[in-house]
Amino acid sequence: MTVDAYLSFGSNIAPRFEILQCAIEALHLLPDSGVELVSSIYETEAVSPYPQADYLNCVAHIKTELTPEALLTSCREIEFSNGRPVSRDKNAPRTLDIDIIFYGNQIINATKLIVPHPRYADRRFVLEPLAEIAPDYICPDTGTSVAHTLDQCTDRSRVHQFFLETV
């Protein structure tokens, strides 16, 4: 059975843009999956208890036959192949972070995977790119649209589209 899944990508360790490009390219190689749409890239303020560089973030919509657990494993492999250490401090800078935001309309509360992502509705850096590609998607945990969730989000951190400067 094919499922619509939404993944959030973030990087704040150079080369951020190239790392996101590599991650999206790797996403195209997932077995039994296809990339439907990728949002613009957004530059976002780090939401962290200590100062760190801004992030680049985007969201991808895929159709997949992978189980949620297999998708999580594939995402971790993409992270590790892009330099993410196996263990690190929570909220520490990272070369790449991939989160499963939605997996169809499923609600999953397992030891290693919680879907919908438990903090997606509080993170403008997830909601802005998600609303760009799926504003009418109904969040399975709330029954409201992504656009409505973004409108209700209290996170006021800086989020704006990223444009690569050319020389």
What positions carry a catalytic annotation?
84, 94, 97, 99
Beta strands (DSSP E) in the chain are 3-11, 33-38, 42-44, 55-64, 97-103, 108-109, 114-115, 159-161
My answer on whether omega of the bond before 116 falls inside 30° of 0, hence cis, is yes
Which pair of tokens denotes residue 88?
Answer: 């690190």
Q: Please report, as a single letter, which amino acid is at residue 27.
A: L
Q: Which of 93, 81, 91 is nearest to 12 (CA)?
A: 93
